[in-house]
């Protein structure tokens, strides 16, 4: 049993260190994508501030500048996109550097069509590693799915996708849809890895990467587009969660099919004689 959802992925390439420019670009593309009336629009990792952590690690910028740039969960830019989601009547998901006190997390947020924040995730696996002294790049310590109007959702950010245990844990926590905001590899290996995560867990996956969008449903790629600043839209089939009601509905559908199929096989058997 499945629910059909229409989803859009946007391969936005942000401007580093310029939240105002990125927010304006995000809004423009969200509005454009919303014309197709998707249930959900996803865009890339770190899109709000421009994914600037490597500038700090490589000492091109000081950590304090990133702390000033990072957005709190109740900050004005997040509130702006809450209002936008409500006006568009669609769910929005995107990545940003979240400031919590004097720490910064690589985060992704899920805003529903009423403008409410219903989910958030902190990246739990970094290509660059982490250290206790790096307050500008704190690592996430929880793998949690969350309830949304579209079902139970899990978020995996970029490098997380390489570790099958991350996605598996989210699915075991009830996620029936996985979203991947990325700013990284666009290789054949990454596509095969995301496809494997979908097939291993029996769930659809939507990835928005800088330079590429990938949408997988029922274990197959249903949409793929290469290039920056591209909108990719497709319909996905989201499995219904286990329940007595869904089990009985599925049972009735099967029994209807059973009657037709068994009658057909009966006549085939008799005709052979």
Burial environment of residue 154 by CB neighbours within 10 A (0 to 12, 13 to 18, 19 or more): buried
DSSP-based three-state secondary structure for 123: coil
pLDDT of residue 34: 99
Q: What stretches of the chain show up as alpha helix (H) in DSSP?
A: 19-34, 53-57, 63-69, 76-88, 164-172, 188-201, 244-272
Instruction: Name the strand (E) or helix (H) holding 115.
Output: none
Q: pLDDT tens digits for the chain (273 residues)?
A: 679 999 999 999 999 999 999 999 999 999 999 999 999 999 999 999 999 999 999 999 999 999 999 999 999 999 999 999 999 999 999 999 999 999 999 999 999 999 999 999 999 999 999 999 999 999 999 999 999 999 999 999 999 999 999 999 999 999 999 999 999 888 999 999 999 999 999 999 999 999 999 999 999 999 999 999 999 999 999 998 878 887 788 788 888 889 899 999 989 998 986
Residues 6 or more apart whose CB falls under 8 angstroms from that of 272 comprise none
User: Do the beta carbons of residue 215 and residue 223 sit within 8 Å?
Assistant: yes
Q: What stretches of 70-132 show up as alpha helix (H) in DSSP?
A: 76-88
Strand partners, 220: 217
Tokens, residue 109? 């947020």
| Integer Cα distance of 216 and 31 in angstroms | 23
């Amino acid at each position: 049993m499945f629910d059909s959802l229409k989803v859009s992925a946007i391969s936005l390439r942000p401007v580093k260190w310029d939240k105002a420019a990125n927010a304006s670009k995000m809004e423009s593309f969200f509005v454009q994508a919303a014309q197709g009336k998707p249930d959900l629009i996803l865009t890339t990792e770190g899109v709000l501030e421009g994914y600037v952590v490597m500038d700090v690690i490589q000492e091109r910028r000081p950590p304090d500048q990133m702390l000033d740039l990072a957005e709190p969960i109740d900050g004005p830019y997040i509130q702006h996109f809450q209002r936008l989601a409500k006006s568009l009547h669609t769910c929005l998901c995107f990545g940003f550097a979240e400031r919590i006190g004097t720490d910064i997390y690589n985060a992704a947020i899920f805003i529903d069509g009423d403008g409410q924040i219903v989910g958030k995730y902190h990246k739990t696996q970094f290509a660059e590693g982490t250290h206790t002294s790096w307050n500008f790049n704190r690592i996430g310590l929880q793998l949690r799915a969350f309830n949304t109007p579209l079902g139970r959702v899990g978020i995996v950010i970029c490098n997380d996708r390489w570790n099958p245990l991350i996605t598996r844990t989210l699915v075991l926590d009830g996620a029936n849809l996985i979203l991947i905001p990325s700013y990284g590899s666009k290789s054949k290996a990454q596509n095969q890895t995301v496809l494997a995560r979908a097939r291993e867990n029996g769930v659809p996956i939507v990835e928005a990467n800088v330079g590429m969008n990938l949408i997988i449903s029922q274990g197959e790629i249903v949409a793929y587009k290469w290039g920056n600043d591209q909108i990719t839209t497709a319909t996905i089939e989201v499995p219904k969660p286990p329940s007595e009601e869904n089990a009985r509905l599925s049972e009735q559908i099967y029994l209807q099919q059973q009657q037709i199929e068994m009658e057909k096989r009966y006549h085939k058997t008799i005709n052979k004689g």
